[in-house]
Structure 1
Amino acid sequence: MTNLYPASPGIKDPAVFQPTAAFRLQIVKVIGFILLFFLLYAIVLLTAITLGAAFITAGIALTGYYPNIFTFIAGPALVILGGLMLFFLVRFLFYRRPPVNPYRAPIDAAHHPRLFDFISRLVKETRIRFPEKVFVVPEVNVAVFYNSSFFNLLWPARMNLEIGLGLVNSVNISEFKMILAQEFAHFSRRSMKLGSYVYALNKVLYNMLYENDSWNDLAIRWSNNGSLPGFFAHVTMMLVNSIQFLLRKLYRLINRQYLELSREMEFQADTLAVSLAGTAAAVSGGRRVEMGTYCLDHCMHKLSELETGGQQFRNIFHTHRAVIDYYALQNRLDTDAAGLPVIPDSYFHSFLKSRVQLREQWTTHPTREDREQRYLAAGITCEQVNASAWQLFNDPELLQEQSTRQVYDTLSPGVAGETITPAEFVAELTHRHRLYEYPAVFHDYYDNRAFTAVNTEDERALSATVVTDMAQLYHPDIVWRIRSYYRDKQDVETLQAIAIGQFQTRTFEFDGQSQKASDARELARKLAGHVAAEQDWLQQHDQQAYFYHYQRALAKGPDTVRLLTTRYQQILMHQEFANRLNDQVVRVIHAISQVFNVGHDTLVLLEPWMEELRAECWRFRRLLHEVTSSPGYTSCLSPELYDRVQRFTMQDCIFMQDQVPDYVAFQELHEIISSVMEQYNNSNVLLRKSFLEFLLTMEPEA
């Protein structure tokens, strides 16, 4: 068997793997809270069992010692109440929650000996137990999972390993080792003995208290049937909900301590992983995972669209790799000998991240930048194996096609289609990109935003511009400032949502600094002031841009000036109508969501929302009539969609037939909304692109 396992640097210094004293102290604090949870857990459990047993005993004793008509009714009732109490308590506390992933497929050592030998070597180096089972999934990740249950509070479950084939498609062997080692390190006896237990235990507690709905669903079904046992089930459900509420309150205290610990646990896992794979693999692997995730998500999101057109992938991972290549080409990235993109620091200079960062419920992951800073500081060098991670698998082509088939069997079983090749998919992607791409000379200045309303009659302002060329007007620094403005505008909304409690969080990060939720209001006020100033600047700069092109049109003659103003006003008209259309679509979708939220069992509650949906649908129809009857709008729709819209506007907005919701009508409304918005917005993009190309015709020849 060929040895594909990369040699480790062989670091022997125990200080590299030993947690700091502060880290160990934090673990002890978390375990102290967990022990307190166990104590309360035991008290609540024993109290509830005693109460349930008392009801059963009282019911039996009452019937035996005082036999009469009343005790024959009250006795069995107490027995039923006590029995249901114990039953639902056991269902809640002693739950078992098997992890579900419909795309998961098992693999074994007999079919993939090189992979299992690779895992075995890494297991020894990280000092964890070999996974009980190994699965593959069509994702870009590696994950360890286990069946969470009450008994895992006492001793850890045997873990299983999930390997994303999208990850294998995106990295080389050394990077694969690094990413796998990061996941194993959370459970390693080499670097985090108690930490790994706390890591697993916190997830089990969260699953039990927040993702354990089977008992509640059963209790609701029983309590809704109107019988005497249903009434007792309702009473029991109230008791168990009270227990759940109490335990959740205590868990929040545990989780608060855990959140302080979890970031350091991630860094501790990174320390072990980078010591085994080296700095180079750690940095490049993280970057390739980000790109691979983006590209596979794009492929997965296209599945339903392709299915509508009668097309399917035979091997989604071939397409995924083709999209990675296309994305690398678009961003002018080099590739290595294995065909994987080389992602330098300069690639990230074009990305603008939110200044406000919220943390997940039960874990805190450092950013890629934070991790890379530590990887580079470690400076661990070792020989890299740059071959594709697919070399660890036997017959990867078959595995890829089986996984692809499993995706289709899960999403649309029994549906077949014509195969679309990776080359055809990328060709369509390229065509669409070129079709809606604005001229490069504008440097994305007009991308993803509306044109500014400008007074085209203000001759004094039109002749007062001082900009002398497009390079100055559309400089990349100007575009970066615009993107920062829109980023900050979104961050103001996020901060305001935190301030009013719309986002439930105690802390958040702003510009990399930890902040309390109570600080959000003041930060939002200050940032809003900056955003308002930038909005004024952008308004003035957009006017300056228009004035510049107006002067170019003057040099061409009055006919060009009229064409410039007419086309600009046409764009503004379509933008205004698009805003009206979008606002109405939002109201229609809100009404539909309310109908489904209410449920279809209570017609009294459903009827008001049906009336609102009908009213919003009529308003939407009036806008569609405007589209089909106004010469300026009809060109925005294809002939096929134009006919569909015409037929739709002639129908009544009726969504109930014989007191039953008409799902066909809901579906038709949704399809019309989606199609009209897509075509109208795309038409507006093409209209703006045509206008920008027209502006270039007025530029003097170089």
Structure 2
Amino acid sequence: MNTNLSLAFPPVPAGADKEILKPSASFNSNVYRSIGAVLFFIITYIVLLLAVVGLAIAFGALGVAIIAAKVGFLTLVLGAALIGSGILLIYFIIKFLFKKHVTDYSGMIEVYEDDQQKLFAFIRQLTKETNAPFPKHIFLSADVNAGVFYDSSFWSMFFPVKKNLKIGLGLVNSLNISEFKAVMAHEFGHFSQRSMKFGSYVYNMNKVIHNLLYDNEGYGRVLNSMSKLHSLFTLTAWINIQVIRVIQYILKQVYVVLNKTHMGLSREMEFHADARAAYVSGSNQVISSLKRIEVGQLCYDELLNYWSRQLEKDNRSDNFYPQHLEMIKHYSVQNKLTIDANGLPVIPNGIDVVNTSQVVINDQWSSHPSTADREARLASLNLQTMVIEDTAWSLFNEAGALQQLLTDDVYSTTSATEKTERIGLEVFKSDFFANPDQYNLDDFYKGYYDGRGISQFDVDEAVKELAAAYPQKIEELLSADNTGLPTAIDRMQQDINVLQSIVNDGNNIKTFDYKGVKHRASDAAATMQAIEQERLAAVQQMEKLDKDIFMYFYGIAKSDTDKELLVAKYKKLFNVNDDSQNDYELYTDVMTYFNNVYVTMPYDKIEDNLHDIYAREVKLKPRMLEILQDEESLAYFSDEQLKALKHYCTTKLTYFSGRKYDNAAINAFNEGTGAYILAVTNRNFQTKKDLLSFQVSVLNSK
């Protein structure tokens, strides 16, 4: 079999110092903590086991003594109840041993070397560079992910277990071959970590804890049946339950220690795996892969949401991955990022794809460090390699067939059937990207109005103020500092939300960083108050700027007609905003209760919830009928949406009867309210866009 690569293998960085592969002091410290936590669990469990066995022996001895003291019906019942309760306590503490473990391979498809020679040759070469064992199995999944896993069982805690590699095709779709090497090298960094053994310990110990805390339905049935035999059995069952509650309380405390400690080690293992990946592929490639994976994940999530909605129309994707790549390209254009030859974004250093908060928490429950922390560590290594721009798909034989196979696998767990229409790339593009400029504002405003409403002000009063106002230049009004105000305000609100979570969390978070400075958790409230003052000042500045921009365009308008039209458009927008606010409140109010339809509740609670829904529909439906009678509003509905809205408004829907939900009525609600809120949002946006486009036309005719 030919296993030689027929393409360029990304190089190893020159002059890399092997010292970076040594575990850090923090890594070693977390290893010792994990050893201590594992021993703590073992000792605690042994103590609990001995205590339960001792208690069971005492129950049994007492039961025998009671029966022997005076043979009678009541003494016989009490003795038997005590003996049975002791036996059940022993069973409770060891019942996890009888729990059968089944490894879940759903959502994964194994590939073999005969079919994927280039991929296997690539991985074999990489295992040599990383000094890691070759995977036992290689699986493909549909998502934007890669990972190492193994069949964890009781025996995996004591004997070596070969690890498996999982590669997500969404990940392949998001990277070039140099970045793909970096991601795979990171995973093989985990392959070489002996500390992964702790994962097996913690996994199995968590299974024990979960079994004792939550998998008690069968045990509960036995206790309940026993308690019905006689009131004395009820008494011993109650005692049994109190003992179990004490055991469960202790195990909950052990769970916190065990898992917080393991999460700390997991974060250090991620840093160490990053260092190994940088050593063989370059820190620049690892950093680039992190950023592109974030973009790929955002676009993949949006794609799945789109097809989830389409499935209701009996449509499904023929192949996710060309469509996913189109969405990545669209994201790049929207965010003004350069696109490489493969259609992937070039994301400069310092650009945050997802998180812009300046508050950083050392999350003790996170298994991964933040992307920012990982990038900072990698940048400090400063290992650079040449980028090979070939797509990662070049490693896969029959890539299109694999893509369709994994797409079909995703749909195998949905309501899609053979009759569901398969939608290809061109039809997807024509629908998803229909009227690409419909929801874009003019680039002239540099994103200043994107994703927000224009602050309301008294338009007539602003016209009067204009006579005494100092004329400003549009370049000054739309300066970088000014156009960045909405983003800065959003970031400050993010910071406030994170700090509020620290205040609410109590003692679980000890410290946080803000703008690179470490603070104690007790400083969170004061820091939050300072940021809120800064945010309010920025909001006031933005509100004034919105008004100043109106005054600028009113001032440069050549004709009275343009001035009057500008005033009318602003007043119309503010009226639409007011109506929309009321519409959003009506929608949110009813949805708060309708979402409970998807929650399991007792029948009496279902009836109460339905009463709340119907009470809110009394306000919502008349408002919808008003919109249906407004000719201007009708323009924002498609024929299908209009039909759904009319059906919902004019039909008395009963969502629950005969002790079951009516799915047709629920669908009618979702389609009608969905059409309503989409039209409200569209009306808002298009009114704003019309105003802003008119202002640009006023400037162009200046």
TM range (shorter): 0.7 to 0.9
Q: Which residue of 1 aligns with 2:415?
A: 412
Counterpart contact for 1:182–1:272, Cα < 8 Å: yes
Identity fraction in percent: 26
Matches within 5 A, 1:285-324: 285-324=289-328
Q: Which residue of 2 aligns with 1:675?
A: 675
Match of 1:549 among 553, 568, 586: 553
Counterpart contact for 2:270–2:369, Cα < 8 Å: yes
C-alpha change, 1:69 and 1:212, in structure 2 (3 Å) is closer
Amino acid at match of 1:454: F
Match of 1:521 among 506, 522, 525: 525
Q: Which residue of 2 aligns with 1:587?
A: 589
Unaligned runs of 5+ residues in structure 1 are none
**Helix, strand or coil: the match of 1:105?**
strand
Once residues 97 and 514 of structure 1 are traced to their aligned partners in structure 2, the CA distance between those partners, rounded to angstroms, is: 44
Q: Which residue of 2 aligns with 1:440?
A: 443
**2:271 equivalent to 1:267:** yes
Q: Which residue of 2 aligns with 1:601?
A: 602
Q: Which residue of 1 aligns with 2:537?
A: 533
- More moved, 497-506 vs 177-186: 497-506
C-alpha change, 1:335 and 1:552, in structure 2 (3 Å) is closer
- More moved, 645-654 vs 582-591: 645-654
Match of 2:118 among 114, 117, 140: 114
- More moved, 406-415 vs 20-29: 20-29
**2:474 equivalent to 1:470:** yes
Q: Which residue of 1 aligns with 2:390?
A: 387
Once residues 225 and 67 of structure 2 are traced to their aligned partners in structure 1, the CA distance between those partners, rounded to angstroms, is: 27
The alpha carbon displacement at 1:40 in A equals: 1.0
- More moved, 339-348 vs 680-689: 339-348
Q: Which residue of 1 aligns with 2:49?
A: 45
Amino acid at match of 2:692: L
The alpha carbon displacement at 1:165 in A equals: 1.1
The alpha carbon displacement at 1:488 in A equals: 0.9
C-alpha change, 1:82 and 1:391, in structure 2 (3 Å) is farther
Counterpart contact for 1:499–1:517, Cα < 8 Å: yes
Matches within 5 A, 1:143-542: 143-149=147-153, 152-153=156-157, 157-189=161-193, 193=194, 195-198=195-198, 200-202=200-202, 204-206=204-206, 209=209, 215-219=215-219, 228=228, 239-258=243-262, 261-331=265-335, 333-334=337-338, 339=342, 341=344, 343-345=346-348, 348=351, 353-358=356-361, 362-381=365-384, 385-414=388-417, 416-458=419-461, 459-501=463-505, 505-542=509-546
Once residues 622 and 235 of structure 1 are traced to their aligned partners in structure 2, the CA distance between those partners, rounded to angstroms, is: 58
Counterpart contact for 1:319–1:422, Cα < 8 Å: yes
Once residues 592 and 271 of structure 1 are traced to their aligned partners in structure 2, the CA distance between those partners, rounded to angstroms, is: 49
- More moved, 393-402 vs 434-443: 393-402
Once residues 521 and 160 of structure 2 are traced to their aligned partners in structure 1, the CA distance between those partners, rounded to angstroms, is: 35
The alpha carbon displacement at 1:688 in A equals: 1.3
The alpha carbon displacement at 1:140 in A equals: 1.4
Q: Structure 2 length normalisation: TM-score?
A: 0.87
**Helix, strand or coil: the match of 1:106?**
strand
Amino acid at match of 2:452: R
Map Cα deviations across residues 27-69 of structure 1 (whole Å, 9 max, x no partner). Answer: 2233223322221122112322443465567667866886542
Query: How many residues of Structure 1 are paired with residues of Structure 2 in the alignment?
Result: 693
C-alpha change, 1:564 and 1:141, in structure 2 (3 Å) is same
Counterpart contact for 1:219–1:237, Cα < 8 Å: no
Once residues 503 and 164 of structure 2 are traced to their aligned partners in structure 1, the CA distance between those partners, rounded to angstroms, is: 41
- More moved, 520-529 vs 617-626: 617-626
For the aligned residues, what is the CA RMSD?
3.6
Amino acid at match of 1:548: Y
- More moved, 656-665 vs 582-591: 656-665
C-alpha change, 1:118 and 1:65, in structure 2 (3 Å) is farther
Amino acid at match of 2:476: Q
Map Cα deviations across residues 269-322 of structure 1 (whole Å, 9 max, x no partner). Answer: 211121122234323322332222223222222212333344332221222233
The alpha carbon displacement at 1:677 in A equals: 0.7
Match of 1:576 among 578, 581, 592: 578
Q: Which residue of 1 aligns with 2:623?
A: 623
Once residues 114 and 234 of structure 1 are traced to their aligned partners in structure 2, the CA distance between those partners, rounded to angstroms, is: 64
**Helix, strand or coil: the match of 1:31?**
helix
Counterpart contact for 1:93–1:150, Cα < 8 Å: no
The alpha carbon displacement at 1:22 in A equals: 4.8
Once residues 585 and 6 of structure 1 are traced to their aligned partners in structure 2, the CA distance between those partners, rounded to angstroms, is: 54
The alpha carbon displacement at 1:443 in A equals: 1.5
Unaligned runs of 5+ residues in structure 2 are none
Once residues 225 and 628 of structure 1 are traced to their aligned partners in structure 2, the CA distance between those partners, rounded to angstroms, is: 60
Amino acid at match of 1:577: D
Counterpart contact for 1:103–1:406, Cα < 8 Å: yes
Matches within 5 A, 1:627-642: 627-630=627-630, 633-642=633-642
C-alpha change, 1:492 and 1:286, in structure 2 (3 Å) is closer
Map Cα deviations across residues 474-513 of structure 1 (whole Å, 9 max, x no partner). Answer: 2343121221012212332332243234996454443344
Q: Which residue of 2 aligns with 1:562?
A: 564
Amino acid at match of 1:681: T
Q: Structure 1 length normalisation: TM-score?
A: 0.87
Q: Which residue of 2 aligns with 1:645?
A: 645
The alpha carbon displacement at 1:699 in A equals: 1.8
Counterpart contact for 2:316–2:416, Cα < 8 Å: no
C-alpha change, 1:160 and 1:445, in structure 2 (3 Å) is same
- More moved, 99-108 vs 173-182: 99-108
Counterpart contact for 2:295–2:353, Cα < 8 Å: no
Counterpart contact for 1:99–1:146, Cα < 8 Å: no
Once residues 688 and 514 of structure 2 are traced to their aligned partners in structure 1, the CA distance between those partners, rounded to angstroms, is: 36
- More moved, 167-176 vs 366-375: 366-375
Counterpart contact for 1:96–1:150, Cα < 8 Å: no
- More moved, 287-296 vs 459-468: 459-468
Once residues 125 and 388 of structure 1 are traced to their aligned partners in structure 2, the CA distance between those partners, rounded to angstroms, is: 21
